Amino acid sequence: MELSLDKTVVIYNPEIEGSQAVAQQISQKFENAKAFALSSMPDDASFAIVVGGDGTLLKCARKYSALEIPILGFNMGRLGFLAQAMPDEIDYVVNKIKSNDFRIEKRIMLKCPTTGAVALNDMVIRGATFSRTSTLNLYINGIKLCSYLADGLIISTPTGSTAYALSAGGPIISPNIECFIVVPICPHTLNARPIVVPSSEYIKITTMDSPKDFQITADGQDARIIKKEICVEKYEKYAKLLLLNNDGSHFYDILREKLHWGVAPNK
């Protein structure tokens, strides 16, 4: 797959120690490439390399999905589930990119029409009064499905199924499946279970609580207050993740490596 490197940018998170130095080192490998702090991401780019943790990559994905710019991550955080490489692999990664030995995966995203916020991983909905549980009514395409008495709801993409939704008891979904997962957070009824719905469905959440205010957070970063009801749907744009063609780059390989999936107990 052809990729224009004419306007390569390298985005780093200055809050992560050493990320600027790594970004500068990467930018020197590409002609005319420049390094930018996370707070000053440029619009004029053909390809973005992100140096930081998953949070850094998620913020870049929200911006660059609208511009249809592919991104690749170097992990300098903790888990780094979305990142493709470590800082000591710069030469290897650059050679892969310049020889077109990669693929670009399109990942579905979420959008809240009320606020315009978008998310690659998930949107988390809670009542405005955080000190107590909320009664949250879930509607799918206008049809009421259930009422949750819970601390909140997670609406996740398959990409986000390995993040907060997994910690709350949701299933892991392969990212090539276009669907959403709705997962209650600490529900107070035993029959409250996660549900997987097609990405074409329109999700609405209301409450009978007082006040009828919600907080909705996109990817754990962009938090906003909404009154009366919240709607969530598929974003019209896709995040474009550049993935290297090498052993261990498949989703299932990453599951095994990062989450220690299916590791037999020691004897």
Positions marked catalytic: 54
Q: Which long-range contacts (CB under 8 A, 24 or more apart) does 132-138 make?
A: 133/186, 133/188, 134/207, 134/209, 135/207, 135/208, 135/209, 136/184, 136/205, 136/206, 136/207, 137/205, 137/206, 137/207, 137/208, 138/182, 138/203, 138/204, 138/205
Residue 94 β-bridge partners: none
Say which residues have a Cβ less than 8 Å from residue 240's Cβ, sequence separation at least 6: 64, 65, 68, 69, 70, 71, 104, 105, 106, 107
